[in-house]
Structure 1
Amino acid sequence: MIDGVKIKRLTKHCDDRGYFTELVRDDDGLLSRFGQAAMSFSYPGVIKAFHYHEKQDDLWFFPSGNAQVVLYDLREDSPTKNQTNVFYMGEENPILLLIPKGVAHGYRVLGEKPATIIYFTSESYKANDPDEKRIPWDDETIGFNWKTKNR
């Protein structure tokens, strides 16, 4: 696994009314500090990739739909530099994924329904000085094949 990436398996507490799940707690040791929470909705087949941050860590959760999440370690001093990780997240696999600063990340919505992502950051977004560095989804250096393989 890419150095610094963390996963928290989530627990559903179910009863006849539905379920309750804790997402993030201050004693989880996931974010060094809390900056912002946000949500995004994407249609089936959409690819949102790649970007990375120099100052902030991201914590991702997909409460609805399913996504293929791809990480690529850009950090010069990392023992996992240039490594790629792929995670399948969403309703079928409810996990939190911590993405450290310097790790490029993106996702593709899987299946026939939209996906919602809720994400938490260690820094708030600053419109006049955004910590968002973009890389094309088909960047040759990363070289990730987003196509689903037929069997």
Structure 2
Amino acid sequence: MIEGVKIKKLVKHCDDRGFFAELVRDDEPDLLSRFGQASWSMSYPGVIKAFHYHEKQDDLWFFPSGNAQVVLHDLRDSSSTKGKTDVYYLGEENPIMLLIPKGIAHGYRVLGEKPATIIYFTTKSYDSKNPDEKRIEWNDPSIGFNWDTKFR
């Protein structure tokens, strides 16, 4: 696992009415050190949204509907896992929160036949005049990730 990345497995409380689950709590400072903004986005099946990274903010990702292949690549010079790439599967089939520290390139591919929705929290609010978002092409050779499904 890339240094600083954290996973929180969600606990669903189910009954005859449906379910309830907590996403983020203010008494979990090891998960989200500061609240900056909450955002919501939807992507269609097969879409790849990758890569970008931040220099000032951490992201906390959750996919409440659909499923996604999330790819992280550690760009941090000071990290013991610099250059490491990890893959996570988030969504309806695996409801977890994924903390992505600043300096880690991240992106995702929507899996399956339905759109995926992401809700994410950041430690800083978005500044349109000076965005903390650095872009890397989805197929950048320095990351070298193969987005193709591997049939087994």
Secondary structure of 1:71's counterpart equals strand
User: What does residue 8 of structure 2 align with?
Assistant: 8
- Separation of aligned partners in 1, 2:121 and 2:150: 32
Aligned length: 151
Q: TM-score, normalised by structure 2?
A: 0.98
Q: Partner of 2:91 in structure 1?
A: 90
Letter in 1 for 2:126: Y
1:31-89 CA distance string (max 9 Å, x none): 11100000000000000000000000000000000000000000000000000010000
Q: What corresponds to 1:109 in structure 2?
A: 110
The amino acid that maps onto 1:20 is F
Matches within 5 A, 1:56-95: 56-95=57-96
Name structure 1 gaps, 5 residues minimum: none
Per the TM alignment, residue 26 of structure 1 is displaced from its structure 2 partner at its CA by 1.2
Tell me the equivalent position of 2:135.
134
Q: CA RMSD in A?
A: 0.5
| Letter of the structure 2 residue corresponding to residue 12 of structure 1 | K
Q: Which runs of 5 or more structure 2 residues have no equivalent in the other structure?
A: none
Percent identical residues: 78
